[in-house]
């Protein structure tokens, strides 16, 4: 039988009808064939021409004159013209007389038509829209908060639409009911809230079990269930099989206090998971949900500062599979992260043996005998520190102090900005400056519409600032980080 893991690895990861014109008739009444017809003129309909009538010229008398009624000319009604609705063409149908006309014609007129022909098709554009058609509605994408920059792209969090961008792009989140400020914590979007747990409260201290859930719709916090053990420098991952917490330290100050337990949130309670083939306990590792499994890579252990250990957890059989990278350059720890890019996993940031900042990444291909290879060169401007990222599908969001690719553990202040990795273009893009007091080491997550970041190291303490960033409808319009 094909295992869950084999089946999943065979797949890829995971987000104005115009009314036709009325039929044209080539048969006309005697009156219609007379100059000017029954109700014609410029914009007339049934019998057109410029004002002609039975055998008249400009300004004839019988039934014509400028401004006929029945079938459409330019702007007509029953029959269409420019802006019209049903049939008609510019100048109407079955026109006869025109300016200076005779029995069947005038200037430009003929037996069956005047200027613009007869029984034309739909007018130019039908009911014209000077902006953008979003379904049946004509929308100004520059100012409409429900369609800002693109149809159906709505501004959230009380933002308004200005110039096709939801403003303010950053919105500070409420501090009321928020957990205590902390460092080296983790967060996920669990489907309805920004869920953060663990970390060292106030700075480098003992880890904590506590956390909180932030609800963007209400701009409010509620307490989160406590973990089964204190953790900091751990990871949280949310996927179709639930929310998990793994690895980390009990004491943020002591690298020997590693936590091997894998917790899963069941309802409102964290529960320890009985695991098979449990890998070595690690902290400062990277993890994500990929190809139906919980994927982990690198980190530090009690005895090794940089490991090359990689393993994936399959919830169906509660077992781990060894995906160890055996090359000498595989070992990595510190502030790094991983994301899915098509059918591979990419890793960037962090340091390795003898290198505090690695200038290359790693690529893991599950369809190529679990092959590992170097990712080099990295996209220009890739920060050396990338432990907190939010993968939004086509784009990856991260925080850095000034957008130049530098970062430190105590990065905090008004010069922190969001940068966006464009997977399609393979480049980093520059986003706006974050609110004052934001930490570049904040725990982050993508909600589906916003990049949410909260707390993190700030000098020797922890920032209590959190904020939400809403990108433009098309993030590829952001300028390149490196021109």
CA atoms within 13 A on the CB side of 168: 10
Per-residue confidence (pLDDT) for residue 204, from 0 to 100: 82
Structure tokens at 339: 């994301």
Q: Hey, is 279 helix, strand or coil?
A: coil
Q: Hey, is 329 helix, strand or coil?
A: helix
For residue 397, the cross-strand partners are 390, 420
Whether the CB-CB separation of 389 and 412 falls below 8 Å is answered with no
Q: Say yes or no to pLDDT of 404 above 70.
A: no
What DSSP designation does 107 have?
A: T
Q: Say yes or no to pLDDT of 1 above 50.
A: no
Q: What is the pLDDT of residues 124-173, one digit of tens each?
A: 545 689 999 999 999 999 999 999 999 999 999 999 999 999 999 999 99
Per-residue confidence (pLDDT) for residue 115, from 0 to 100: 52
**Closest residue by Cα to residue 107 from 95, 118, 119:** 95
The C-alpha atoms of residue 51 and residue 70 are separated, in whole angstroms, by 14
The position carrying tokens 């990929």 is 290
Q: What is the pLDDT of residues 2-13, one digit of tens each?
A: 444 444 333 332
Per-residue confidence (pLDDT) for residue 124, from 0 to 100: 52
The C-alpha atoms of residue 414 and residue 140 are separated, in whole angstroms, by 34
Average pLDDT over residues 331-357: 94
Q: What is the pTM assigned to this prediction? A: 0.74
For residue 237, the cross-strand partners are 244
The C-alpha atoms of residue 257 and residue 442 are separated, in whole angstroms, by 23
Domains of the chain: 27-128 (no CATH), 170-477 (2.120.10.80)
Q: What is the pLDDT of residues 32-49, one digit of tens each?
A: 333 333 333 343 333 333
Main-chain phi, psi angles of 400, to 5 degrees: -140, 160
The C-alpha atoms of residue 454 and residue 296 are separated, in whole angstroms, by 23
Whether the CB-CB separation of 73 and 99 falls below 8 Å is answered with no
Q: Tell which phi-psi region holds residue 262, choosing left (phi > 0), alpha (psi between -120 and 50) or beta.
A: beta
Q: What is the pLDDT of residues 57-114, one digit of tens each?
A: 343 333 333 433 333 334 333 333 343 333 333 444 434 433 433 334 444 444 344 4
Pairing of strands 427-433, 443-446: unpaired
Q: Say yes or no to pLDDT of 186 above 60.
A: yes
């Amino acid at each position: 039988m094909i295992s869950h893991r084999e089946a999943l690895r065979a797949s890829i990861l995971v987000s104005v009808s115009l009314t036709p014109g009325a039929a044209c008739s080539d048969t006309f009444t005697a009156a219609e064939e007379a100059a000017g017809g029954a109700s014609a003129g410029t914009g007339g309909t049934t019998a057109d021409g410029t004002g002609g009538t039975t055998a008249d010229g400009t300004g004839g008398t019988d039934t014509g004159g400028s401004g006929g009624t029945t079938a459409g000319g330019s702007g007509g009604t029953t029959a269409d013209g420019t802006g019209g609705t049903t049939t008609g063409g510019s100048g109407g149908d079955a026109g006869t007389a025109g300016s200076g006309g005779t029995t069947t014609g005038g200037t430009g007129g003929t037996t069956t038509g005047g200027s613009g022909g007869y029984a034309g098709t739909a007018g130019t554009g039908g009911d014209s829209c000077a902006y953008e058609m979003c379904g049946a509605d004509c929308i100004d994408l520059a100012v409409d908060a429900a369609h800002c920059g693109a149809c159906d792209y709505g501004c959230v969090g009380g933002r308004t639409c200005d110039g096709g961008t939801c403003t303010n792009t950053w919105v500070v989140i409420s501090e009321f009911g928020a957990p205590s400020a902390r460092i080296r914590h983790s967060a996920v979007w669990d489907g309805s809230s920004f869920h953060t747990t663990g970390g060292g409260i106030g700075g480098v201290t003992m880890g904590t079990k506590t956390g909180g859930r932030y609800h963007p719709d209400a701009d409010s916090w509620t307490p989160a269930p406590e973990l089964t053990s204190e953790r900091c420098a751990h990871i949280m991952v949310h996927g179709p099989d639930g929310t998990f917490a793994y690895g980390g330290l009990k004491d943020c100050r002591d690298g020997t206090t590693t936590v091997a337990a894998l917790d899963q949130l069941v309802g409102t309670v964290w529960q320890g998971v009985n695991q098979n083939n449990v890998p070595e306990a690690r902290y400062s590792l990277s993890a994500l949900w990929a190809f139906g499994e919980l994927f982990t890579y690198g980190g530090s252990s009690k005895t090794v500062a940089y490991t090359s250990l990689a393993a994936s957890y399959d919830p169906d059989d509660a077992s781990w599979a060894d995906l160890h990278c055996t090359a000498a350059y595989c070992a990595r720890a510190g502030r790094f992260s991983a994301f899915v890019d098509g059918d591979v996993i990419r890793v960037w940031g962090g340091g390795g043996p003898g290198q505090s900042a690695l200038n290359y990444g790693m690529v893991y291909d599950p369809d190529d005998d679990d092959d590992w290879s170097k990712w080099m060169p990295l996209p220009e401007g890739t920060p050396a520190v990338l432990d907190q990222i939010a993968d939004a599908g086509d784009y990856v969001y991260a925080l850095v102090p000034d957008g130049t690719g530098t970062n430190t553990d105590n990065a905090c202040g008004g010069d922190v900005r969001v940068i966006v990795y464009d997977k399609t273009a393979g480049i980093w893009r520059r986003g706006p400056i974050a609110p004052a007091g934001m930490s570049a080491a904040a725990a982050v997550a993508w909600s589906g519409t916003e990049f949410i970041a909260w707390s993190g190291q700030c000098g020797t303490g922890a920032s209590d600032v959190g904020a939400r960033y809403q990108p433009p409808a098309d993030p590829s319009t952001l300028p390149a980080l490196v021109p």
